[in-house]
Structure 1
Amino acid sequence: MVIDMSFLASPARRRRATLAATAALATATTLALAACSSSSDGATSTDGTTGASGSCPTKPVDVVVSVDQWGDLVSQLGGDCTNVTTVLASSSVDPHDYEPSPADAVKFTKAKLVVVNGADYDPWASKLAASSAKSAPVVDAGKVVGAADGANPHLWYSPDYVTKVSDAVTQELETLAPDAKSYFEQQRSKLTQTLQPYTDLVAKLKKEAAGKTYGATESVFDYMAQAIGLVDKTPAGFARAAANESDPSPADLKDFQNVLADKSVDVLIYNTQTEGSIPEQVHQAAEKAGVPIVDVTETVAPGASSFEDWQVSQLTALAKALGVDA
């Protein structure tokens, strides 16, 4: 099969990367996530594909998911009644810059359902779905929640958006495999129960930490901060530069350093997958001022066994930084 990939060419963006030392751990994380899905929701192979284990009342639905932030959730929602392939299941790859291979295009040709983040985060996946999986419905998280291109694309950090996208995926699965409707309903309820520690932590932080302030090296965590009720004190110029994936001006960097030196924020949210001297300088300024630092990641963190494990770990660290008993 020969597939024309030339239409996917796009300008390179500033790359975010996990340090090379974590690459092996990232691979181990992918396998750990697979093992988790296998033990609870179906058999899983090391290529990121979840296969049916026999309890599904009908033929499993082949699903392709663009990124791991949604991949684990889709696997839990589909269980034995889906074969889920996540294209990017490694924290060492930047979804913005990813250039899919012909093998990735082949994966899409087998899809009966495609799940993408949208909001201009993974446009390569939407293009592959349109060219290689024309008959498959697409759950575009950005469209589900009403996030237009140019909006903050880190939609999985919003608890409300996680709920809406999960509901949309379940609805599509029920349409594609109506004989398994009750099974998918059970899986959706099971996910709600699984996410309860995450949901409870968000509620606790909202009750006890709303109104506290934060600065952030990037907008990765902003939806969660908004859900909790934190107030963003990141200097506007610095935030704009980060959103545009460009370096802030010396004045913008100095503004951020002053905010930290004055302890005008209660916590610094630091994306550990961002490379470069500027975020390092911000981190150093927070350390010098004694401002608590909470590490977050854009993709599922190495060592996390599931989406909820990843999120709960970060929320627990945030609670500790803000003096909330978690």
Structure 2
Amino acid sequence: MLKSFRAALALSVITLSAFATSTAFAAPLKVVASFTVIADFAKNVGGDRVNITTIVGPDGDAHVYEPSPADAVAMAKADVVLVNGLHFEGFLQRLVDASATKASIVTLTKGVTPIDFKPEFADADAAEGADTGGGKTVTDPHAFQSIANAKIYVKNIAEAFCTADGEGCDSYKANAAAYTTKLDALETEVKAAIQSIPEAKRVVITSHDAFGYFEHEYGLTFLAPQGISTDSEPSAADVAKLVKQVRQDKATAIFIENITNPRLIEQISSESGIKVGGTLYSDALSSSDGPASTYIDMMHNNITQIKGAILGS
């Protein structure tokens, strides 16, 4: 009788141990994404196997964001932290230090070919600690505005998740491949939309220069008074210079950005005589009930707004 009780107890311990092990493997990977675009990529790659906390939320401005104690707690508990890099997140190092996180910090622009920011605003941005290359150039961090680069982000996320959770690797790879197919289709749409705009009319104005990679990839020209970051106000001379350039380059549309105060754009609109064409989403997605709650929706919104304002459709 005693032997059979011991045997039953041993069997229950083995069963409970096995259950605990399987439960541990089933626990979602704790992921922190620095801002909404990265969070959306991570959701598409991770699916149900990841639990994502986003530091800079919808319509948030990562250039001027100040981390909260809750952000430090989330970072401390994370298994993987996904960041843009290229000095996009000015708060990042402070948050890493404050949280003392042991998580892997994964820079998603690894493998991206960086472009230099337009030099006329380099001096203002050099003060932020960006890569100035001896004060002559500033690296543009907004690489996600190119869909080709977005695919690199997705690949890097899949690799990071595979490293952290080997059992889910096949799932991550399959999700990444499926999402990349969607990005391929999106890229085709965006290129077709740009081609439908006459070359002479492909000049638009935005608040800050977040669209350099979009310009580089797809052939639009973006003019912006605030440069690479929203952290500094342009001078009256900068605004006057832009208005003059707008008239010379015959800009055909002007847009508010979701992360910036519209006052400056409204001033330029008034002085240049160009009507505000709508809102573009640059450094952040919209809330879930907005027009740009995913990266794909963001790109659709932006190209639809641009094409509509220029062509009047």
- Is the structural similarity TM-score above 0.5? yes
Q: Which residue of 2 aligns with 1:51?
A: none
Change (3 A) 1:172 1:264: same
- Answer whether contact 2:33 2:83 (CA < 8 A) is retained: yes
Of the three residues 251, 255, 275, the one matched with 2:241 is: 255
Report the equivalent of 1:295.
279
CA shift, 1:198, in A, is: 2.5
TM superposition shift of 1:285? 3.6
Matched residues in 2 for 1:313 and 1:244: separation? Answer: 22
Instruction: Give the structure 2 partner of residue 15 of structure 1.
Output: none
Cα distance change of structure 1 residues 138 and 313 upon mapping to structure 2, 3 Å threshold? same
Deviates further, 82-91 or 193-202: 193-202
Provide the residue aligned with 1:34 in structure 2: none
Deviation at 1:131, TM superposition (A): 5.5
Name the residue aligned to 1:100: 67
Is contact 1:109–1:132 with CA below 8 Å preserved after alignment?
A: yes
Letter of the 2:298 partner, please give it. W
| Corresponding residue SS for 1:201 | helix
Distance 2:207 2:96 in 1: 33
- Say which of 237, 256, 269 aligns to 1:283: 269
- Taking structure 1 as reference, are residues 102 and 262 closer, same or farther at Cα in structure 2, changes over 3 Å only? closer
| Counterpart code for 1:254 | A
Tell me, in whole angstroms, the C-alpha distance in 2 between the residues paired with 1:124 and 1:250: 29
Please tell me whether the aligned partners of residues 109 and 133 of structure 1 are also in contact (alpha carbons under 8 angstroms): yes
TM-aligned CA distance change 1:86 to 1:257, over 3 Å? same
Residue 141 (structure 1) aligns with: 108
* Cα distance in structure 2, aligned partners of 1:308 and 1:272: 16
Match of 1:113 among 62, 76, 80: 80
Which of 19, 23, 35 is residue 67 of structure 1 equivalent to?
A: 35
TM-score (norm 1): 0.69
For 1:88 and 1:289, the matched residues in 2 are separated by: 32
C-alpha RMSD of the superposition = 3.1
Give the match for residue 221 of structure 1. 211
Structure 1 residue ranges without an equivalent (≥5) = 1-53
Q: Does the Cα contact within 8 Å between 2:32 and 2:53 map onto a contact in 1?
A: yes
Q: 2:251 matched to which residue of 1? A: 265
Cα offsets for 1:170-222 (capped at 9, x unmatched)? 01111221222211111112212443553222221344448432333310223
- 1:279–1:323 CA distance, 2 compared to 1 (3 A): closer
**Within 2, Cα distance between the matches of 1:101 and 1:248?**
28
Equivalent-residue separation in structure 2 for 1:103 and 1:289 (angstroms): 43
The residue type equivalent to 2:217 in the other structure is: A
Give the counterpart letter for 2:68 in structure 1: S
1:122 corresponds in structure 2 to 89
| Corresponding residue of 2:180 | 192
